[in-house]
Amino acid sequence: MKTDEITSSIRNKMNESEYLSTYNELLSSLSVEFCDDFPAIASPTLSKQEAVTRLYEKCLNPVKNEYLIKNWLLFPVRLIWHFLNILLLSNIYRVKSIPSNSIYFRGWLVPQSFKTNNIRDEYFRELPNDLRERGCVVIQAFQPLGYHMAWKLLRYKLNDDQIIPIGMLTFSDILKLFYSYLTTGWLQVKNEYVLRGNNITSEINRSLAKDFIDFRSFLAYQEKYISKKIKENGVKKFVYVFENQSWEKVYCNYFSNTNIITIGYQSSGFTDKFLNFFPSQKDLNDQPQPDFIFTVGDAFTKYLTEKGCYRSEICSFAAMRFDHPVIDSHYIVKEFSKDIHMCILYAFPVHKWQYGLIIDLLIDVFGESDIKVHFKFHPLCQSLRGEYKNILPDNFSIIDIIDNSTLSQNYDVVLFNDNSFGIESLMYGVKCFDVDLFDNDLDKRLIYFDDWDVRISKNGLLQLRDNLLNGYFDKSCNVNVIRKYINYMYSPYIFDRSYMKKFSIDDINN
């Protein structure tokens, strides 16, 4: 399970300045070859979805003779699989009509959506219901994050104003969708592109080919036909989870010359490596963008405004996915315990390819020591439990449930990367560290934080281990500083008149 050969190809090569400027501008220039063609809008490569494509890493360390034969052999199987699922699910979840002048929330159907007696919107939580109670007509659309989620939904009951958007597609729409994808979905650039003096055109074309062969562009094509149905039904506002991905740009592009107001809600944290959040100056006038971007708090509003080039109006909203205790419209931060428990928690990201890297690192540092290491796997990565459970040292374990209220009573430190759980642990009196897997600052999660050096490398983990074993680890923190920082990052969701002003039909532009 050793992965040194994987990390060595990335570590010490990713240059922050080059990535955010030269490389970012290079990707922007690719789109010029395709003008405003829909296939270019649909491409994750051209939308700079580096978490999906990892194109920059591959350009720095190209894999010679990396052919796509296996991908091509699987393509017909995937094509049939997509067609049958969409055809069947569109009939099972048939949507006859959508009320005009409604607010359309486009969320995701994820494992956390399934509750005991109902389906909950994991991303918008109580906002749709609060708007309904105040007279707004609301439609909640749940896009399944994998077809298996839609099949699982058969055991539950949707409310009349909750839909699966695939249900809007007719048989004719589905045929047009697949025909369009097959005839236009594969893009290739013709000009030559250079990074660090190396011609990277072949890597770019390989990534564009994988957009098509691996169906990375397919969701955008699907949303194209759904967007037409939404327009025909006279929806007034389209609210969605904002990550500036290709499928989102489809809606922004199609609704740009209509009366439909597009509102992107930034619900999850991100770092500099998520280039899709940082349109370049070249993208400013050409890239489809929403009318409004609502953020989870002032820090993210500042972050997007400073680093991205947006036409959108960016404003602070609320962290609706947080259920943390609040008093006087501010999150509560607990006192930090000084007791040593000899136990740390690692909160894993959603990227499955990182799990082996992380586990190797932690075993190397903490394996067979007197320090207990607990793993909190991401909800979308629970399938990996069986793969790693039986190879962990005795002092390692995978846990199912975390009680946030007892974090400080059980853990000395929360380690994390590429998610926000570590930041949330600060609310419950536990110091956190953002693990630096690749020796670069592109992954830094705690933006605008300088109370201590939260980035920790392998050497830092070794020092942490020794300090815990020797009883020297300093767990103290300035609670007032932490409280101020947390409430700068995240605004609690407390529905009031200002929310009505943002979402009511008449007052959105006031």
| Whole-number Cα distances in Å, 494 to 15, 158, 242, 327, 405 | 41, 26, 21, 11, 21
The residue to which tokens 């994750």 are assigned:
44
Q: What is the pLDDT along the chain (510 residues), one digit of tens a residue?
A: 444 444 444 444 667 789 989 999 999 999 889 877 899 999 999 999 998 999 998 998 887 656 678 888 899 999 999 999 999 999 999 998 899 999 999 999 999 999 887 899 999 999 999 999 988 899 999 999 999 999 999 999 899 999 999 999 999 999 999 999 999 999 999 999 999 999 999 999 999 999 999 999 999 999 999 999 999 998 999 999 999 999 999 999 999 989 999 999 999 888 888 999 999 999 998 899 999 999 999 999 999 999 999 999 999 999 999 888 899 999 999 999 889 999 999 999 888 888 899 999 999 999 989 999 999 998 888 888 888 888 899 999 999 888 888 899 999 999 998 778 888 899 999 999 999 887 777 888 889 998 888 899 999 999 999 999 998 898 888 999 999 999 999 999 988 777 766 666 444 443
375 Cβ contact list (under 8 Å, min separation 6): 345, 346, 348, 359, 388, 396, 397, 398, 399
Look up residue 200 and give its amino acid. I
Instruction: List the chain domain ranges.
Output: 331-489
Question: CATH top-level class for 331-489?
Answer: alpha beta
SS3 of 206-254: HHHHHHHHCCCCHHHHHHHHHHHHHHHCCCCEEEEECCCCHHHHHHHHH
* Beta strands 194-195 and 198-199, pairing class: antiparallel
Residues written for the chain: 510
Read off the pLDDT of residues 240-252 as tens digits, 9 standing for 90 and up. Answer: 999 999 999 999 9
Look up residue 249 and give its amino acid. K
The pLDDT value recorded for residue 285 is 86
267 Cβ contact list (under 8 Å, min separation 6): 123, 241, 242, 296, 319, 320, 321
Rounded to whole angstroms, the Cα distance separating 423 from 421 reads 5
In three-state secondary structure terms, 106 is strand
Residue 347: name the closest of 386, 307, 306, 381 by CA.
381
The answer to whether the beta carbons of residues 167 and 160 sit under 8 Å apart is: no
Per the structure block, which two tokens stand in for 324?
Answer: 């943390």
Per the structure block, which two tokens stand in for 152?
Answer: 């699982």
